[in-house]
Structure 1
């Protein structure tokens, strides 16, 4: 397994919506949101491409809009977000898959809510298409521990690498004394 680098990696955030985030009880909501924000700010600060997608945002009583912090941090990516209309596997939405391909990167750092429904299939689909995928587990979550465990197992068995926010940021930074380290260090402390 090769190490991801800033130059060859894109960040893909799936369905971090104000409603769906609350379904992810396996990761405390404040921690999940913090880690999504860390990934977004790190990507922005280091110039990494970001793809955002949501599912049925207009269903405000259930799923709702993407986290407002994402609009504040990544206004261009937010404006270009792929608003899926119910397609469960985001990779099956051509606009989303094409946006990911258009980053020109072979490595994807992915996170999504919920892990077992929104994250498993896009991660495996991207991997099957030849992309290298790391899923940031603490920026994801499921409705129960069994669903979360099964999602992790399924992804790992397919060849998806599982990681945490701190671990993937450190892997990308390589050196805390670098410009990327100057972006990352305040986000992680």
Structure 2
């Protein structure tokens, strides 16, 4: 069940300047790098991107989305779904509608924190019939036990787990392709 560029959308959840710092299981620099690889790869290959944030105005805790996302995917950033505290992003009608509106059956998802922000929407999307791969190194939790329990819950819920390099390589399929030309500089 390999994904390809034509049937895939990227869904990035709560990669905010405050929440990213809670992801102790993935070093902050690596987390941000991987999120930007996903965003830039999507932009360069015309893969739809849906962004969402939770309580951006809570600047002392969660804060705004990573500003680098605005540069990487300006249209998605402008259209981001600003949730007002809904924990399971899929329960926010605007967010779920934006994901459905991509017209894609396969979702590559990543979010912070994995245990609070990622598990529920990934499983909810699977329950609705989407095929979901969560990019584990573009996620993170406050501690390793929480992260491992998140992986178990997602796998039990039908979610597939992957990494940034693995999903990009899977979508590229051939390094000599136009997608390979986009991906190769991002991964090296």
- Fold match (TM-score > 0.5): yes
Q: Distance in 1 between matches of 2:34 and 2:185?
A: 13
What's the TM-score once normalised by structure 2's chain length? Answer: 1.00
Q: What is the CA-CA distance between 1:159 and the residue it aligns to?
A: 1.0
Name 1:50's counterpart in structure 2. 49
Per-residue CA distance 1:69-90 (angstroms, 9 max, x = gap) = 0001111100100000000000
Name 1:166's counterpart in structure 2. 165
Per-residue CA distance 1:53-72 (angstroms, 9 max, x = gap) = 00000000000000000001
Q: What is the CA-CA distance between 1:113 and the residue it aligns to?
A: 0.1
Name 1:68's counterpart in structure 2. 67
Q: Distance in 1 between matches of 2:101 and 2:158?
A: 23
Q: Residues 12-91 of structure 1: matches in 2 within 5 Å? A: 12-91=11-90
Q: Distance in 1 between matches of 2:155 and 2:57?
A: 33
Q: Residues 144-163 of structure 1: matches in 2 within 5 Å? A: 144-163=143-162
Name 1:183's counterpart in structure 2. 182
Q: Distance in 2 between matches of 1:43 and 1:117?
A: 25
Runs of 4 or more off by more than 2 Å in structure 1? Answer: none
**Which consecutive unaligned segments of at least 5 residues does structure 2 have?**
none
Look up the SS of the partner of 2:98 in the other structure.
Answer: helix
Per-residue CA distance 1:81-114 (angstroms, 9 max, x = gap) = 0000000000000000000000000000000000
Q: Distance in 1 between matches of 2:160 and 2:186?
A: 23
Question: CA RMSD, aligned part only?
Answer: 0.3
Name 1:102's counterpart in structure 2. 101
**Which consecutive unaligned segments of at least 5 residues does structure 1 have?**
none
Q: Residues 133-148 of structure 1: matches in 2 within 5 Å? A: 133-148=132-147
Q: Distance in 2 between matches of 1:106 and 1:28?
A: 31
Q: What is the CA-CA distance between 1:28 and the residue it aligns to?
A: 0.2
Q: Distance in 1 between matches of 2:74 and 2:82?
A: 15
Q: Distance in 2 between matches of 1:135 and 1:184?
A: 19
Q: Distance in 2 between matches of 1:69 and 1:78?
A: 10
